[in-house]
Structure 1
């Protein structure tokens, strides 16, 4: 492995981990965008598996309200698994326009949120039937693009969760999405195990970056966090658009 690839990989996961630690998401988007400069997308996706899974599980377990979140979010999470496995045959087939469209939707949502226009908070009755649909839609998007954020992230934010609960809910959702996507890739024989060691090595800088990002998040107020969260969504969306269309 060339020194350049190793250096870019370490810097990439340090930055991606910092972004994830600060706003609760963004590691796959940042990592795939930067790793794509030095390796094919399929190889980049293989390298991403271990740091994505571990940092998502870390984020999920870092808070103190996992059981209540599981009781509330399990219909959405079940939908995520179903949608991802059902759409696993389409992995890599959607092409750059699907990823660019996803980036545009992310950017638009972030900008709308910064303008203080938010999705209405669902009632308990609405949540009961909308949550599985949101999960299935998220799973299908995950299978097509490898990005876990839509429509799960806007939905979770609309539930009115606090700062730490929102970040933990994101970690829970992304952990389930990562496991489901990995299972789908294995079932379709699309996962390349040859890069497993490199993927394991990427965990170190990702974990360091995430710890730094979490320390930053702990020092900011709820309003500042929400602004950073929405701005981060907008920037990640713009990055995804530029990466896929360049």
Structure 2
């Protein structure tokens, strides 16, 4: 892929296209800074309507890896999380590698449809917020199943939130344990995600360049989101964004079906 082709938007000059992409990344990261979730799914849903879907997923590799590494290391719970959730971690990593391998071989129209379905599912699960509890004796095998299946979705889309969040909530973790465990599990997927995308040619030198530059608007958006969190009603904001996400997902499905 050419140096500028990755972020080329039809009908716009390279400079304007770059500004649009950077603005979308700031907005998506601000959502995560405000709500604590949603950066990959909002980035993919918004950019998927403008760029080649494979390029969008490649663009998210470094921000996803960096944010999950930071989240895992800033928690003192990461060692315990590795021991407690190792079946999920291993299966999530394997599933991500499988999903990433498949992603490179899916035509763009079908990939848009898949991304749209994932976006809508993400929004619905977060709107419903089911109250689940999981007995300790079932945690290993359920974690392995959830980890493997969610890993495939993660490899296909860089989105992993709802199933992992539901599983960790069902395990009854407190806030610090929850944040640390999610960071470790997500990091376990981010590493094979980058490696598989690189192996299949989706993530090469050009993609690595733009993905690394994407850290700038992403960190700016995270900072903005943390500031906004003090001035808005998070629950109302969350519901509005999730409804918007469903509409974005429906548009991706429409584009995929009628491409």
TM bracket (short chain): 0.7 to 0.9
- Find the counterpart in structure 1 of residue 251 from structure 2: 242
Distance 1:85 1:162, change over 3 A: same
Distance 1:237 1:38, change over 3 A: closer
Shift of 1:26: 1.5
Shift of 1:165: 3.6
Gaps of 5+ in 1: none
Q: How do residues 217-232 of structure 1 correspond to structure 2 at under 5 angstroms?
A: none
- Find the counterpart in structure 2 of residue 175 from structure 1: 187
Aligned to 1:64, the other structure's residue is in SS state coil
Stretch of structure 1 that moved more, 145-154 or 234-243: 234-243
- Find the counterpart in structure 2 of residue 6 from structure 1: 18
C-alpha distance after superposition, 1:131-188 (max 9, x if no partner):
1111111111222333223522221222223344433333323222221112222233
Given that 1:29 and 1:240 are in contact with CA atoms closer than 8 Å, whether structure 2 keeps it comes out as no
Shift of 1:216: 5.3
Q: How do residues 51-200 of structure 1 correspond to structure 2 at under 5 angstroms?
A: 51-92=63-104, 93=106, 95-113=111-129, 117-118=130-131, 120-200=132-212
Shift of 1:5: 1.7
Aligned mates of 1:79, 1:55 — CA distance in 2: 21
Given that 1:51 and 1:203 are in contact with CA atoms closer than 8 Å, whether structure 2 keeps it comes out as yes
Given that 2:120 and 2:245 are in contact with CA atoms closer than 8 Å, whether structure 1 keeps it comes out as no
Distance 1:111 1:44, change over 3 A: closer
Distance 1:86 1:173, change over 3 A: same
Distance 1:30 1:103, change over 3 A: closer
- Find the counterpart in structure 1 of residue 56 from structure 2: 44
**Number of residue pairs matched?**
238
Aligned to 1:151, the other structure's residue is in SS state helix
Given that 2:150 and 2:164 are in contact with CA atoms closer than 8 Å, whether structure 1 keeps it comes out as yes
Confirm or deny that 1:17 pairs with 2:61.
no
Shift of 1:12: 1.6
Given that 2:117 and 2:253 are in contact with CA atoms closer than 8 Å, whether structure 1 keeps it comes out as no
Gaps of 5+ in 2: 5-13
TM-score, normalization by structure 2: 0.78
TM-score, normalization by structure 1: 0.81
Aligned mates of 1:54, 1:236 — CA distance in 2: 24
Aligned mates of 1:83, 1:45 — CA distance in 2: 17
Aligned to 1:122, the other structure's residue is in SS state coil
